[in-house]
Amino acid sequence: MKKTAWILTLGLSLCGHAFAQNFDDYFVDKTLRLDYIFTGNADKQDICLDELSSLPQWAGRHTHLSELPLAGNGEITVKDKATGKVIYRTSFSSLFQEWLGEKEAKVLTRGFENTFLVPYPKQPAEITVTLKDAYQKPCATLTHEVNPKDILIHQRGTGNLTPHRYLWKGGSSEKCIDVAIMAEGYSAKDEALFYKDAEIACESLFEHEPFKKLKDRFNIVAVFSESKDSGVSIPRNNEWKTTAVSSHFDTFYSDRYLTTRSVKAIHNWLAGIPYEHIIILANTDTYGGGGIYNSYTLTTAHHSMFRPVVVHEFGHSFGGLADEYAYDEAPSPLYPYSVEPWEPNITTLVHFENKWKDMVEPGTPIPTKPQTDEKLIYTKIGVYEGGGYTKKGIYRPTTECRMKINEAPVFCPVCQRSLERTIRFYTE
């Protein structure tokens, strides 16, 4: 549900373009799927390797291979074993790390599935997975080797693909960002309904800048992952369904927080279909959703707020944007005041120069008084107090934004700039 620090200089950009020419030196056109279990509690965390799989095509980026678009709450680094050279990096956040801020983590140890995709190495590689705490310090790390010729690497996606159809195709997977929209809680009789809902999600995304002007850099595929039952689980109502990815509301006892811990199931359904980013549509009219950076978006499809919510949650999972709303006077355990959040659209002012300071008019007071003019509430950039779930000490760029309220028709200029940078990072 969170995410940033965007510092891409011209030098890094040129470096990324230069390295892109060498993709074929280190990788083949396949995907190495990495399944891990993140386990632990508030005091101690560990990472366990679960399984390795191969997918028949690499749908990810071919440029900026050794750079990160955003810092995230965790990182994967792939090195060529023979030379020690970093040949690929990616960042992420996880439901496990959110859970560590819950009271339950102080008294209980849990394990969470996590799956990541990297390009398939030609030669033996060394992979390091690192988790960071709320202070952005490493709290768990695992390094393991991968022999690409290992016979126990599970080959997936070579046949019996999940039914799917493209809703929009901007170009080849090599040139575009591949987004898969999955069905959750749609039984066989609901197939037509799912494709209709997926079309709405696709339309909603491309109604927003910068996705609208950069539409040709995306491919959108709808994947009918059929469920036994219609609907999704609502534990507070004692409603439990058998569905494709076992999602449910009431995550961390929050009514509207809709997530799944069955991450491997998500990727099993998608095996063989080119994808990088994932949107899961839940066949329910109960309000809710969730979005985890470089993991997935999950949202209700039949609530009246479906359109804005799916875009908001994709802002999390794709763009690493933070929630800009606030409901507590106390600081959030996710955002200590002494640390600058990595997400691009909130700040503690610790390193405001790395955020949107360059977009603020000189002389703008901090905190900035909220705007009341309808023409300014979404566009007037300042330093407005309240964000990251906390009313004090954390600041957002505008009075209102798609990352703050459902009624906002647009992302604010700061979020738009960050999203555009991320899109260009993946495609240039």
Point out which residues pair with 78 in neighbouring strands.
88, 127
Per-residue model confidence (pLDDT) at position 21? 52
Per-residue model confidence (pLDDT) at position 331? 83
For the stretch 30-42, what's the b/e string if a residue is b when 16 or more beta carbons lie within 10 angstroms of its beta carbon? bbbbbbbbbbbeb
Nearest to 180 by CA among 111, 103, 268, 94: 268
Q: What is the DSSP string of 180-236?
A: EEEEES--GGGHHHHHHHHHHHHHHHHTSTTTTTTGGGEEEEEE----SSSS-BBGG
Is the model's pLDDT at 399 over the cut of 50?
yes
Per-residue model confidence (pLDDT) at position 329? 82
CA dihedral (393, 418, 99, 391) in degrees, to 10, reads 20
Q: What is the mean pLDDT of residues 164-178?
A: 97
pLDDT tens-digit series, residues 75-118: 999 999 999 999 999 999 999 999 999 999 999 999 999 999 99
Query: What residues contact 41, with CB distance under 8 A and at least 6 apart?
Result: 100, 105, 106, 107, 108, 109, 110
Per-residue model confidence (pLDDT) at position 11? 41
Nearest to 245 by CA among 286, 290, 204: 290
Give me the phi and psi of 39, to 5 degrees please.
-135, 155
Q: Tell me what the pLDDT averaged over the chain comes to.
A: 95
> Using DSSP, how many helices (H) and how many strands (E) does the chain show?
7, 17
Per-residue model confidence (pLDDT) at position 3? 34
- Domains observed in the chain: 10-155 (2.60.40.3250), 164-320 (3.40.390.10)
Is the model's pLDDT at 10 over the cut of 70?
no
Per-residue model confidence (pLDDT) at position 69? 95
Q: What is the mean pLDDT of residues 291-311?
A: 98
Look at 8-22, 214-228, 380-394 and tell me which has the smallest mean pLDDT. 8-22
Q: Pick the more confident residue, 6 or 253.
A: 253
Q: What share of the chain is helix, strand, coil (3-state, %, to 5)?
A: 20, 30, 50
Per-residue model confidence (pLDDT) at position 330? 83
Give the three-state DSSP class for 277.
strand
Give the three-state DSSP class for 346.
coil
pLDDT tens-digit series, residues 318-349: 999 999 999 888 888 999 999 999 999 999 99
Claim: this prediction has a pTM higher than 0.85 = yes
Nearest to 168 by CA among 135, 125, 201, 132: 201
User: Half-sphere exposure (CA, 13 Å, Cβ side) for 251?
Assistant: 20
Per-residue model confidence (pLDDT) at position 7? 36
With tokens 């940078």, the residue in question is 421
Per-residue model confidence (pLDDT) at position 43? 98
User: Do residues 375 and 360 make contact, with C-beta atoms less than 8 angstroms apart?
Assistant: no
Q: What is the mean pLDDT of residues 348-354?
A: 98
Nearest to 221 by CA among 245, 194, 190: 194
Question: For residue 222, what are its two tokens?
Answer: 């709808």
Instruction: Look at the alpha carbons of 329, 332, 338, 339 in this order and tell me if their dihedral is positive or negative.
Output: negative
Strands 384-387 and 86-92, sheet pairing: unpaired
* Rounded Cα gap, residues 326 and 119, in angstroms: 39
